[in-house]
Structure 1
């Protein structure tokens, strides 16, 4: 009886340990891109992998899967609240998301996406160069997604815009003349241009203006996954502290910053009332592309 009882208890202990190990695995479900031509998610996916790997010693194993379908912002927010179809994404921050989800307070790209230059029809290049700023740009019309945070920033700062219902359609709208310029993050515009320049021969990168809207991209975690939030926040802070995050940002974006030639552009600042001033005050969170030490601007 004692031998049988010992075996039974051992089996129960092994089963409990197996169950505990299964529960200890942090399961990430990340959002899916709009299409194979939409490369906006690639950087944040690579960064998330770095975060999860960095935190293995403290938090244990993990898995990363992807949502079955692409979701635009309203549906994505609802799914993140629920935490079943998706539990992590990286997106520009707005007031509703900051209130409803757990936002990791370290910008994923150290603020690079908030430096915006525009895709235009090449016939408008000379006109853009001659604008008196900011008044001249306010007389023109920007194109933006109907639920994008950029729309609120343009509205709050007195710029005209038209909206498109989806990301891919905005490129067609630009070429059709529905709006004059399409502001894009410096981290994404050159991939978009390179992918589409053959299909749209008149597409061009505007070369004289940069908007700075202070909208950080952040990891957002479902409130149903507090442990996952704790892990991603710890990982981002660790990458920031030892300089890995800055090196990672520059490794992925150096060529884009070189092509952007920000120091040759006229700058328009668009204040953002939704971001915690304490976050803006943490200078180590933000990569300044104008700092000569990065080599993009002359000393």
Structure 2
């Protein structure tokens, strides 16, 4: 006899004997685990906001999901492998979207950051606080080198625009590399820069006040192809949050101050192409989902 019917018979017998009192329907309704990657960063610069959005999306979905972090930290490349693997250790990831990632995984095309991942403030050292004051164009910026993690899409985006990039195989060493002069600036999203500045008080960091980089992008939840129902449920949960206003309230709660402090309108905006993403796939017809300065 197959295992599940055998288990059902066994539990029924135990229940009739008074040994097992849990009703069988309750077993079927047991919460399904959503496994997500524990990130490798000492401090995840946007983790608190993302987790709040994810928890609310689960609750708004009306489904009995429970969230569980992976046992070991994972970098992006490893997390994507785990999502695509037939026996992978995680079910969900939040990351910048690309055409390749959308082909590999199930994208939930609601920009949980309202596109802020594509608005980049340069972190520099205090000694180089005025390094970028005369930068007015991509050509001007090409005189300086950026730092990025090797498996981030930003590497290809920056290089495709003619900007030099130095890479690290992991995230935390980038701050030592910046301090040591291995590269000139570390472009970080509007909602990452201040948190990273605060988390690294011994690295002589300074948030540049002169420019901001911009390219079309979005931070999505991606779900493993193994879990299409989970993707549908989370999409429904996020749509309900948008409908009832809780998405916008959470966005403002966490990101209103970083946006205000960025003073985007007072900066020179350096517009970059993003060759990794077909903009036609983005929900640009829904202006309520996007940040505009």
TM-score by structure 1 length? 0.86
Per-residue deviation at 1:278?
Answer: 4.4
What is aligned with 1:34?
A: 40
Return closer, same or farther for 1:134/1:8 CA change in 2, 3 Å cut-off: closer
Q: 1:280 to 1:125 in 2, by over 3 A?
A: farther
- Give the corresponding residue for 2:121: 117
Alignment match of 2:194 (pick from 186, 190, 197): 190
**Cα shift readout 1:175-223 (whole Å, capped 9, x = no counterpart):** 11011100000001101101212x123x110111011122211001111
TM-score, length-scaled by structure 2:
0.87
Deviation at 1:255, TM superposition (A): 1.3
Tell me the alpha carbon deviations over residues 132-155 of structure 1, each in whole angstroms, 9 at most, x when there is no partner.
Answer: 422110121100111101111112
**Pick aligned residue for 2:231 from 229, 249, 262:** 229
**Structure 1 CA distance, aligned partners of 2:160 and 2:123?**
22
Matched, 1:73 2:79: no
* In structure 1, C-alpha distance between the alignment counterparts of 2:239 and 2:156, rounded to whole Å: 29
- Name the residue aligned to 1:50: 56
* Closer, same or farther: CA 233–20 of 1 in aligned 2, 3 Å: same
Rounded Cα–Cα distance in structure 2 between residues aligned with 1:131 and 1:39? 27
**Structure 2 residue aligned with 1:213:** 215
Mark the CA change 1:271 to 1:131 in structure 2 (over 3 Å): closer, same or farther: closer
In 1, are the aligned partners of 2:81 and 2:88 still within 8 Å (CA)? no
Distance 1:277 1:151 in 2: 22
How well do the aligned residues superpose, as a CA RMSD in angstroms? 2.2
Contact persistence 2:125–2:206 (CA under 8 A): yes
Shift of 1:275: 3.5
Please list, as runs of the form range in 1=range in 2, the aligned pairs for 1:85-124 lying within 5 A after superposition. 85-124=89-128
Cα distance between partner residues in 2 of 1:140 and 1:248: 36
Give the equivalent residue in structure 1 for 2:3: none
- Alpha-carbon deviations, 1:93-119, whole Å to 9, x = none? 123211110010001111112111010
* Contact 2:223/2:230 (<8 A) preserved: yes
Distance 1:269 1:239 in 2: 31
Displacement, 1:9? 12
Evaluate the alpha carbon distance shift between residue 280 and residue 141 of structure 1 in structure 2; reply closer, same or farther with a 3 A threshold.
Answer: farther
CA gap of 1:127–1:156, structure 2 versus 1, over 3 A, is same
Q: Residue 262 and residue 152 in structure 1: after superposition, are their counterparts in 2 closer, same or farther (change >3 A)?
A: same
Q: CA deviation at 1:75?
A: 1.2
Give the Cα separation in 1 of the matches to 2:97 and 2:23. 43
- What residue number does 1:295 align with? none
More helix by percentage: 1
Query: Is the contact made by 2:36 and 2:69 (CA closer than 8 Å) also made in structure 1?
Result: yes
Aligned position for 2:177: 173
Taking the aligned partners of 1:36 and 1:157, their CA distance within structure 2 comes to 30
Q: Secondary structure at the match of 2:39?
A: coil
Question: Match of 2:4?
Answer: none
SS of alignment partner, residue 119 of structure 1: strand
- Give distance in 1, aligned partners of 2:280 and 2:250: 25
Cα distance in 2 for partners of 1:251, 1:107 equals: 17
Compare 29-38 and 159-168 and name the one that shifted more: 29-38
| Distance change (3 Å), C-alpha of 1:235 and 1:281 | same
Unaligned 5+ segments in structure 2 are: 1-11
